Amino acid sequence: MKAVAIQAFGSPEGLAVVDLPDPSPAAGQVLIATEAIGVGGVDTMIRSGALAAYGFREGHVLGSEIAGTVTAVGDGVDTLWAGRRVWAFTGMGGYAELAIVPAERLLPLPAGISAADAVTLGSSGVVAHFGLRHARFASGESVLVRGAAGGIGIMTVQLAARGGAGTVAVTTSSAERGDRLRKLGATHVLDRSGGGGEDAPAGYDVIIDIVAGARMPSFFARLNPNGRMVAVGAVAGHPPADFGMEMFAAFQKSMSFATFSAATVAEPDRRAVTAELFAAAGRGELHSVVCERLSLEQAVLAHRKMEAGDVFGRIVLAPSGSRTTPRPADGYDPPLAQGGPKSS
């Protein structure tokens, strides 16, 4: 099979298309022929080498989220999964024509949700949903989304608006992007420093930060008393080592800061929230924003665009050739409440 691996940490040119043996599912696993692969900010960080301390090595195949068709099942997995179109959280190895996934991580694709929709709504929506929960967001509160033009930011804007936020302010790089974010639920558009928004609130109850980096500490000044900032990403790199001093300088405001990673979400909870996101999208209550569809072989270009900030929504990769099997004619759909077919 074709896959994209990190040949050398650093620039996007460190990625290369490689030939790997077709994998086979072990017990409890399935094999998926990929139709859509989500490209995320964490992929660019892993590729750069910034997360090498977490065990990522050269030779690693990127990709934590895919959609496609189950082509084989391992021992103990219900054979009715075979031939089903599914979304799956892979954790790694998704930049490939074929991917191995534990059966517990599968979710059937409902009618009306394309593979590209699925990888745009799925993991980004999970991070946005639980990031807002981690911040103890409540209806009526004001929310600022820092770095709102990417997949996580767009989902956070929509979920905050859907959750009854009194204000949903965003930072972004252009008026055109600001206009698009307003259509998705933003009420105020700020520049990257957090300024420039006409009639924008002086402070916010919740800040969801996807950016981090050197400017992050300056946003503590934009928190209301008892305000909460949650970092759900670090696309601009780590903040300064002494970033907490900004909070101590405003000690009497009782602000709080936390990080959130979807790695702390239990699989049943991830699957349940993703199913609800798909259902809401099917009802027209949420919108997937696909920036561009590129071939798997164009992964370098995808990462260049990510690093240049030339992305609104999510880039989706797809293998050039289809390796899927036909959908069974019986119309069987694994039940969502039980997470799909039962293992035998």
Residue 327 above 70 pLDDT?
no
Retrieve residue 97's tokens: 């024509």
Q: Domain for residue 169, yes or no? A: yes
Full domain range(s) for residue 320: 2-122+266-338
The amino acid present at 122, given as its one-letter code, is G
pLDDT 10s digits, 192-202: 888 888 788 99
Provide the pLDDT for residue 321. Answer: 67
Single out the residue in 262, 279, 295 at which a domain terminates.
262
pLDDT band at 323 (very low <50, low <70, confident <90, very high): low
- pTM listed for this prediction: 0.90
Give percent of the chain above pLDDT 70. Answer: 93
pLDDT 10s digits, 152-200: 999 999 999 999 999 999 999 999 999 999 999 999 999 988 888 878 8
DSSP letter for 209, please: E
- Sequence-ordered list of residues with C-beta below 8 angstroms from that of 174, at least 6 positions apart, any chain: none
Task: State whether 15 and 110 are in the same domain.
Answer: yes
Number of residues written out for the chain: 344
Provide the pLDDT for residue 245. Answer: 94
- Range 259-279 average pLDDT: 96
Task: Please count the structural domains in the chain.
Answer: 2
Average pLDDT, the chain: 91
Rg of the chain (C-alpha set)? 20
Residue 330 above 60 pLDDT?
no
Task: State whether 153 and 201 are in the same domain.
Answer: yes
Q: Domain for residue 343, yes or no? A: no
Domain of residue 143, CATH code? 3.40.50.720
Provide the pLDDT for residue 195. Answer: 87
Q: For strand 223-231 and strand 204-209, is the pairing parallel, antiparallel, or unpaired?
A: parallel
- Sequence-ordered list of residues with C-beta below 8 angstroms from that of 295, at least 6 positions apart, any chain: 317, 318, 319, 320
Task: State whether 69 and 170 are in the same domain.
Answer: no
Q: Domain for residue 143, yes or no? A: yes
pLDDT 10s digits, 49-106: 998 988 999 999 999 999 999 999 999 999 999 999 999 999 899 999 999 999 999 9
Note whether 221 and 32 are within 8 A (CB): no
Note whether 94 and 37 are within 8 A (CB): yes
Give percent of the chain above pLDDT 90. Answer: 86
Task: State whether 163 and 41 are in the same domain.
Answer: no
Residue 324 above 80 pLDDT?
no
Note whether 161 and 287 are within 8 A (CB): no
User: What is the rounded distance in angstroms from the CA atom of residue 148 to the CA atom of residue 181?
Assistant: 8
